[in-house]
Each structure stands twice: as C-alpha cells, then as structure tokens.
Amino acid sequence: MYDFVRSQRVAPQMINAVIKVEKLKADDHFFNETGIEEEDVDPSIKRLDMEKDPEFVAIIEEFKKKSEEFLASKKDETAAMLQKAQQARAMMEARRKQQEEAKKKKDSTAENAEEAKAE
C-alpha cells in the first residue's frame, strides 16, 4: 500500500479511493475470516433456497434479536447522554444569568456611587 502511494503513478483521487477500499476490506471481519466477499454470499443463499432453512432462519432471528438489544442499549445510553447535556446546559445558563445579575448590580452600584458624588 505504501509503495503504491509513494510511486505516485496514479492521480491523488485514486489513491484516496484505494485507501478507502483497503480500509473497508480490513474492517470486514467476515472476509478476513473466510476469504469470501459478502456479495458472493447473497446469490448463493437465494440459489440454495436457504431463506426457508430452519437453521438459517434461527441464525437470522438470533442476530435480529441481538441487534435489537444492542440498539435498545444504545438508545438508553443516548438518552442518558442527552439528559446530562441538558443538565450541563441548564447549569451554564444559570451561571450566565447569575453573572449578568451580578454585573447589573455592580453597574447600578457604580451609578449610585457616581450620583452620590455628583450631589
């Protein structure tokens, strides 16, 4: 990969495309374990009529259940994060209001002092 980039025989846009493809391949655990592309599996499933096979259906249902549980846990996690963010925002707004009130008090005290000096 590095030799390919260093050779500079292709356009920079192509280098970025090749890097993205290589990253996708590196992240594809199924391909890394089996050496089979995902696109090659789907036609075989349909050709062998595996969608009706009880074992295959059980595997799909198990994955679906795990996926739903994972998404539900992430939903709860996201809700907790949003709640923390809202609390932090409320605290920041309260501090800002306190600072504004303190500044107004200070300004009014300074104005009263100036008026007292003028009299």
86-118: per-residue pLDDT in tens? 999 999 999 999 999 998 888 887 777 777 776
Question: CA dihedral defined by 60, 62, 67, 73, rounded to 10 degrees?
Answer: 170
Domain with 29 in it: 1-48
The model's pTM is: 0.41
63 domain-assigned: no
Read off the tokens for 30.
């199924």
- Under 8 Å CB-to-CB from 22, ≥6 apart: which residues? 1
Look at residue 7 and tell me whether its pLDDT is greater than 80.
no
Give domain status of residue 55, yes or no. no
Domain count, the chain: 1
Distances from the Cα of 110 to the Cαs of 96, 106, 117, in angstroms? 21, 6, 11
> Residues 9-68: pLDDT tens digits?
777 777 788 888 888 878 888 778 888 887 888 888 888 888 889 999 999 999 999 999
What's the token pair of residue 119? 């009299």
In a domain, 19, yes or no: yes
